[in-house]
Amino acid sequence: MDLFYDCCPIVAKERVHFHAFMNRVHKTIHDVKINTPKDPSQKFFDPIPPVADTILDRTWLLCFDEFQVTDIADAMILKRLFSELWQRGFIIVATSNRPPDELYKHGLQRSNFVPFIDVLKEYCDCVCLDSGIDYRRASRLAAGQLYFVGMERDTDEEMDKIFKKLASRETDNIRPRTLDIFGRRLEVAKTCGGVLDSQFEELCARPLGSGDYIVLSQVFHTVLIRNIPVFGMHQLGEARRFITMIDTFYDHKVRVVCSARAYPDQLFKFDSTSAAKESVTDQQRLLMDDLKITQNDPNASANVFTGMEEIFAVDRTISRLMEMQSEKYWQHREPSGP
């Protein structure tokens, strides 16, 4: 994707991560609805055409990295928005770990999303580039010890040393920060300039989403993540946020230093077999009741209850964590200053 984008001579082009694009779409839809005068004679207002206008004013070639659909709100918007864009001559080039027929594979109410797949295949050619090699795991020069396993040493002491070294290069004091994210306040306890020193619970046990992680990526060039647990099915929500966070940090080339209970390839202790055996949690049962979903309903096997999408994404997350320790990756956002 980087090679294509860099070599393409088109001026009106944009390369963007799918999460960031959809966050912007949701915000634009909200703004359009707020700022458009209500017409009493109009029973239904369609915000999609003006949203498409906004996108086309900026670009007509969109390059998506990691095209994936895991959110029901995104799934419901995509067919209407992309159909509008494609009908106006818009071009999309995307990479994805899933072929079109498997998009939103374990999503709630997937039957409503399936028509989009036919539209996608009508306007886009699907080319398989899977070589069978994970190049992120290939042998590469490490940037130093950036991933500490709790059973091996006093990880807090090692993380403290790294934070002190990084903070010494910043022109700021060590202090808490409050970030404004779409009108919400996100408080982080320990920062210094472009460096964030955080506990895993601070970033993944709170109800944060891709929009929060995008803002963190824009504010901090380096993030220390302490005490990452080994994930089981009982920590599906935390695992989901962790995967989204690593995806977002990777796309924005955020440098990460981690302390964890296990090495990257041993962090996730769930698979399709264990997911099938696990009983529904109280929280999931409440959600099923709210949505009027019974145990025999096809929606009972949706990702929000089974974690199948997270199971699918595990290998990508592991390989990204490994690449994020390389010297080449670490140099992407080398901060300026002393």
pLDDT of residue 276: 44
Q: What pLDDT band is residue 110 in, cutting at 50, 70 and 90?
A: confident
Q: Which of 123, 158, 178 is the last residue of a domain?
A: 123
Domain presence at residue 292: yes
pLDDT digits (tens, 9 = 90+) for 285-301: 555 555 556 656 665 55
Domain presence at residue 112: yes
Q: How far is CA 230 from CA 14, 131, 201, 233, 264, in A?
A: 37, 30, 13, 10, 9
pLDDT of residue 93: 94
238 and 280, same domain (yes or no): no
Residue with tokens 């959600």: 287
pLDDT digits (tens, 9 = 90+) for 114-136: 888 999 999 999 998 877 766 66
Residue with tokens 């419901």: 76
Q: What are phi and psi of 196, to 5 degrees?
A: -115, 125
Domain presence at residue 139: no
pLDDT digits (tens, 9 = 90+) for 213-266: 999 999 999 999 999 999 987 888 899 899 999 999 998 999 999 999 999 989
pLDDT of residue 260: 93
Asked if 191 contacts 176 with a C-beta cutoff of 8 angstroms, the reply is yes
103 and 192, same domain (yes or no): no
Asked if 297 contacts 280 with a C-beta cutoff of 8 angstroms, the reply is no
52 and 108, same domain (yes or no): yes
Specify the number of domains making up the chain.
Answer: 3
What is the DSSP secondary-structure string of 60-76? SEEEEES-----HHHHH
Work out the average pLDDT over 333-338.
57
Residue 140 reports pLDDT greater than 70: no
Domain presence at residue 129: no
Domain presence at residue 134: no
CATH of the domain at 224: 3.40.50
Domain presence at residue 133: no
113 and 199, same domain (yes or no): no
Pairing state of beta strands 195-199 and 255-260? unpaired
264 and 282, same domain (yes or no): no
20 and 43, same domain (yes or no): yes
Domain that holds residue 98: 2-123
Residue 172 reports pLDDT greater than 70: yes
Domain presence at residue 128: no
110 and 193, same domain (yes or no): no
Q: Which of 123, 156, 191 is the last residue of a domain?
A: 123
User: For residues 93 and 136, what is the distance between their CA atoms, to the nearest angstrom?
Assistant: 22
Q: Average model confidence (pLDDT) for the chain?
A: 83
Q: What pLDDT band is residue 335 in, cutting at 50, 70 and 90?
A: low
Pairing state of beta strands 222-228 and 91-94? unpaired
pLDDT of residue 283: 56
Q: Which of 88, 123, 158 is the last residue of a domain?
A: 123
Domain presence at residue 329: yes
Q: What pLDDT band is residue 277 in, cutting at 50, 70 and 90?
A: very low
114 and 166, same domain (yes or no): no
189 and 324, same domain (yes or no): yes
98 and 56, same domain (yes or no): yes
263 and 276, same domain (yes or no): no
97 and 152, same domain (yes or no): no
